[in-house]
Amino acid sequence: MTSPVITVTHGVVGYDGRPVLRDVSLAVTAGEVVAVLGANGSGKSTLIRAALGLVPLAAGTVELFGTPLRRFRQWQRIGYVPQRLGAGGGVPATVREVVASGRLARRGVLRPPGRADREAVDAALHAVRLADRARDPVATLSGGQQQRTLIARALAGRPELLVLDEPTAGVDAASQEAFAGALHAFVADGGTVLLVAHELGPLRPLISRAVVVHQGGIAHDGAVPEPAGHHAEPDHDHVHPHGPDEPAGLWSN
């Protein structure tokens, strides 16, 4: 029997009274690599944000590693990779400084970083092939390299579960490969992954189960669906400028 990692039961989320998720249930168990698929605005990002407590549930429950979200404290078991790096107020930060934030869940607020922290940061930078950029300001990196920085930050905490929000959106080929490699190593070590994606690309062979979110509900839960229609064409670039925008307020504070 595999142990539960994320369990969302009858989850309901609304923004300003408008329902984004209605009665969604999702269970991820240890060792699974689950992709949440869906169109823009389908609520797929909201689902994982609700599972992490970043978005409040209007109804339903979330359990992380078998503990209700409200009482969950073992955040070092989770590595979260947001969609993109916030611009911040323009104070420079090196790649290494950003990745080192990933150790805080394990170390706590008061303890200064030690040798184990430095080694974990080195290993994470190496895993995403950014060791040579460690001292560069993150703002000078390409979008794909910034995304890898965020993945390294999550890996630095040595989590059991990685939660990734659109990790491959708008990411260059070299970064996609570096990312797929890092994820492959993580899964081979027994890690659990929940990722939101618009397209799977080089990650496809890694995915053990796909969940398709459509209009705030779960439309499919099982094998990875084959691309259909023009999506299956090799030169399809997966850009949907006509798609509805994400719900207002999703990315704003």
Partner 1 sequence: MELFQYPYMQRALIGALVIGLAAPALGIYLVQRRLALIGDGVGHVALTGVGAGLLLNRSPVLVAVIVATLGAITIELVRARGRTSGDLALALLFYGGIAGGVMLVGLSDATSANLNAYLFGSLTTISPQDLTTIAVLGAAILITMLALRPALFAVCHDEEYARVSGLPVRTLNLLLAVATAVTVTIAMRAVGVLLISALMVVPVATAQQVTRGFRTTMTAAMALGLFAAGAGVWVAATADTAPGASVVLLAIASFLVVAVAAAAWRVLRRRAVPAAAPHPEPHEVVLR
Pick the closer one to partner 1 by CB: 32 or 165: 165
Q: Tell the smallest beta-carbon distance from residue 217 to partner 1 (Å).
A: 25
Strand extents, DSSP E, 170-216:
192-197, 209-214
Backbone angles phi, psi at 130, to 5 degrees: -125, 15
Pick the closer one to partner 1 by CB: 77 or 212: 77
Q: Tell the smallest beta-carbon distance from residue 220 to partner 1 (Å).
A: 26
Task: Choose the binding region for partner 1 from 8-16, 48-56, 120-128, 183-191 (rule: CB under 8 A).
Answer: 48-56
Backbone angles phi, psi at 142, to 5 degrees: -70, 170
Neighbours of 80 (CB within 10 A): 21
- Under rule CB under 8 A, residue 119 binds partner 1: no
Q: Tell the smallest beta-carbon distance from residue 1 to partner 1 (Å).
A: 27
The 3-state secondary structure of 109-168, one letter per residue: CCCCCCHHHHHHHHHHHHHCCCHHHCCCEHHHCCHHHHHHHHHHHHHHCCCCEEEEECCC
Tell me the DSSP string of 16-77: TTEEEEEEEEEEEETT-EEEEE--TTSSHHHHHHHHTTSS--SEEEEEETTEEGGG---GGG
- Per CB under 8 A, the list member of 16, 230, 233, 252 interacting with partner 1 is 252
Pick the closer one to partner 1 by CB: 128 or 163: 163
Q: Does residue 161 contact residue 83 with C-beta atoms inside 8 Å?
A: no
**Among 218, 197, 219, 215, CA closest to 206:** 197
Q: Does residue 62 contact residue 51 with C-beta atoms inside 8 Å?
A: yes
- Per CB under 8 A, the list member of 76, 208, 215, 246 interacting with partner 1 is 76
State CA 10 to chain mean position distance. 21
Pick the closer one to partner 1 by CB: 63 or 212: 63
- Under rule CB under 8 A, residue 80 binds partner 1: yes
Measured distance CA(92)–CA(78) in Å, rounded: 27
Please count the residues of this chain forming the interface with partner 1, following the rule CB under 8 A: 53
Pick the closer one to partner 1 by CB: 170 or 205: 170
Q: 199-228 mask for partner 1 (x: CB under 8 A)?
A: --x---------------------------
204 DSSP 8-state letter = G
Task: Choose the binding region for partner 1 from 5-13, 123-131, 136-144, 220-228 (rule: CB under 8 A).
Answer: 136-144
- Under rule CB under 8 A, residue 89 binds partner 1: yes
Q: Does residue 10 contact residue 58 with C-beta atoms inside 8 Å?
A: no
Q: Tell the smallest beta-carbon distance from residue 191 to partner 1 (Å).
A: 16
Site residues for partner 1 per CB under 8 A:
52-54, 73-76, 78, 80, 82, 85-86, 88-94, 96-98, 100-105, 107, 109-110, 112-113, 135-137, 142, 144, 153, 157, 163, 170, 172-176, 201, 234-235, 237, 252-253
